[in-house]
Structure 1
């Protein structure tokens, strides 16, 4: 990567999106460029060769962020995913005095929602901020001892605030999967995954099965699949498919060729190194409540198990 490479991210400086940049490999020296919206990032990268961008695609509380992936799928022609990383963070309460005098808490709306137990137990009123960085900045600037901010340690410590409580989250931690986007296809590493968007040639029973058969025929292991309904035709969906391997691997090339021969449309959204750290998972240690186990068939019929 060139030393003068621009990397766009959702600003201001110091946000989680900004901190995620350091998790990508071989970043080197770069110029951080805060932007006001994801759309601005996507369009800048799409029309500026050599420019990179960082966008979140998934987190442990909301799952896939489809509003963002849609922008990459439907609003960009030349963007490819270059890398991925997972940022794991805890949230702490920061302020200027003892927590016992706090009456109001300020943070990003999503963080406030994830700390609802802490807020409710202490009877705190809430204020919204555009980011955790802004929340900490407001606490430091207003010098109000009754105001506390909820933010990651990297933010609160930078603002010189005192940490009062590191158990404010309703979940153990927040994990967010970020991707580095740019133009061109990243080179193969031998431990890659690829993302394709496939729009079936027809809208009928068996459309998804027909799409998946091209991958299974050439032993391409699929990691995930999502569907997005399209406005162009009622019932028509595009399938967002992530699979193991690089687009230059022979099995994947054969699978794409098979999809095209079957009349399906294919968009390659990137081939990139798989993240080797902790993955984004649901914040629950148990199986979905009310799940039916295979052993249950020994005592009840499927109809009884389903409650119908």
Structure 2
């Protein structure tokens, strides 16, 4: 692995007050609290979902529409992110606790996050104990990659940074939050329409498909994945972030090409992402980074 990267000033300050190990263990402590509070988190998840669906009982439909357009605030993002992160950890085998892996993923991840468009988020990076090849993100700064994906890129800092940057891009661009915001927007407009339309049941039926909430967000992240346009945009934004921090521009494309050549089981390799061929075609044909 290369040691040529320069840590950002903010991260250097963090290192001055404690080792990477202490930073990583602190982050695991936060994730462990999520796991210990599983019942509370599930209750919170249901509460958030119920809130978005009970629009017929509120007298402030117009404000709900405005909120849907403007997006979700920091506190709501935090609650949503905690709930989603908990589900990801539970579904993908828990957390890998190898100190060397934890340090490395956090070193690269925090450096990338520092130069992202949302450096103030409490970013958390972890590896899931799953042999599948995949990566996930949750609102509020949670980034996960599976052990299978980590092993596939373990020989290159450039490749690992490219993968982490893709997931960071989903968070900085608020891709998951836009799903929730759209649900609130449609829910608000549905209630307004019902109050002014004699065929209320028909209106409800036509728009019910957009009533997503947390449960459907989890289905999107863990089963269906984002739509191809969103994933390709994250590839582009993540590539730009990695290049800004000093990593090779061709790293992400190289990773995807290598995974494609392995002819792995498509159900186990980036199963929630667009086909590898589409992602490769979408990226500039930059030279592959030199081996490290």
Range of TM-score over shorter length:
under 0.3
Choose 1 or 2 for highest CA Rg.
1
Higher strand proportion: 1
TM-score w.r.t. length of structure 2: 0.24
Higher helix proportion: 2
